[in-house]
Amino acid sequence: MKTTKLFTALSLMLAAAIAQAAPDAPPTRAQVHAETAAAVRDGDVPSGYDVHTMRELLPSMYAHDAARRARAAGQPASAQAVAASAARGRGE
């Protein structure tokens, strides 16, 4: 009798631990569409020809994105321009 109760208690504890370790629900279709649209808008998609993203291949098309990221990071636009200029000088 005690063995059955012990086994039941251990089984319930194991089931609870497994339920807590289960991953979150997968993203909804709307979330996937929103993330894909944001990646395309920001140039974070592969070019299709090599390992570079569209933003890396065509930086002039995504210059507005750099300014937006600078504002979000709290940097003045001029500091972002200096960083971008230095990156171009290094060939990034």
* pLDDT attached to residue 84: 60
| Tokens (6 digits) for 12 | 């319930």
* pLDDT attached to residue 88: 60
Is residue 5 within 8 A of residue 13, CB to CB? The reply is: no
> What value does the mean pLDDT of the chain take?
74
Instruction: Give 53's strand partners.
Output: 46
Mean pLDDT of 16-36: 82
* 59: nearest Cα among 49, 67, 70: 67
Confidence of residue 80 (pLDDT cuts 50, 70, 90): low
Is residue 42 within 8 A of residue 55, CB to CB? The reply is: yes
Instruction: Give tens-digit pLDDT for 35-74.
Output: 999 888 888 888 887 888 888 888 888 876 666 666 666 7
